Amino acid sequence: MSREYVYETSNKDIIRITTFGNDNFDKKKCLFFVHGFKGFKDWGFGPYLGKYLADKGFFVVTFNFSHNGVGENFTEFTELEKFAENTISLEIAELSELIAAYEKGFFGNTKVNKIGVIGHSRGGGVSILNAVNNNSIDALCTWSAVSTFDRYTDRQKTEWKQKGFFEALNSRTNQMMRMNLSYLEDVEKNKNSSLDFASASHNLKIPWLIIHGEQDLAVPVDEAKKLYAWSQKDSTDFMIVPSTGHTFDITHPFQGSNSKFERVLDVTSKFFSHKLK
């Protein structure tokens, strides 16, 4: 069972939400799925993971960040002007606000609850940096997570500052997706404070499961190794999935699951079942 919601943030922005496992709501175990760069809740494995984890007894919240570029049409980038204005700090704040809304009863009366977060790619990075300062999160799982948001060459950043924007090609849709200077300014201003992965990973005290594909070309597995090296080893587990890449061989539109992704889901589900007791 799934339901659609629309949440208006404190900034009057719109977050579109799909929940799965509403029948599990009273079990008090909630999972938030955080999509990555050029991602959205209905991309590829999104609905499948929602249904899978709902079948395992969780109430699952999947959502689109307000400035991810996807609007009322859940599968197309129709809000490129918002995409251009997005920042990492905005996404961190929106994740906090959405978790707080859950606790305050946006989806129903919660009273007692346990909250887990799954973040993919850039969403994994957002989840790490949120979780270290968010006492509401009880466990974290990151898939293919980044270890830095400073992912551009000096030449790219110089041109970015000169033009006032940077353009990234979406190879799937063939759209040029503009990112304004505000994105780069946010990363450069905060990379040694609120966006410092080494500090956040070291100070994260909750259970953390890091999963990464061995052949990830978008976010090399060495980034996962950095996150693990920085982490608290007594509360962190690390799994490399052999012979698979950034999305564990899942494509969009969704063409079905596979043994590698099923393993990711199985390990993730068991992790949260154990840690959210």
Question: DSSP letters of 18-76?
Answer: EEE-GGGGGG-EEEEEE--TT--TTSTTHHHHHHHHHHTT-EEEEEE-TTSSB-SSTTS
pLDDT of residue 141: 99
Give the tens place of pLDDT for each residue, 25-62: 999 999 999 999 999 999 999 999 999 999 999 999 99
pTM: 0.98
Residue 166 lies in a domain: no
Indicate whether 10 belongs to any domain: yes
Which pLDDT belongs to residue 204?
98
Per-residue model confidence (pLDDT) at position 1? 81
pLDDT for 272: 98
**What's the pLDDT at 79?**
98
pLDDT at residue 172 is higher than 80: yes
Residue 247 lies in a domain: yes
pLDDT at 112: 77
Strand pairing category for 59-64 and 14-20:
antiparallel
Total of domains in the chain: 1
pLDDT above 90 covers what percent of the chain? 97
230/48 Cα distance (integer angstroms): 32
Assess if residue 190 is contained within a domain.
no
- The CATH number assigned to the domain holding 128 equals 3.40.50.1820
* Helices and strands (DSSP H and E) totals, the chain: 9, 10
Asked, for residue 274, whether it belongs to a domain, the answer is no
| Domain assignment of residue 145, given as a range | 2-149+199-269
Dihedral of CA atoms 67, 69, 71, 77 in degrees, nearest 10, equals 180
Residue 118, domain member (yes or no): yes
194 belongs to a structural domain: no
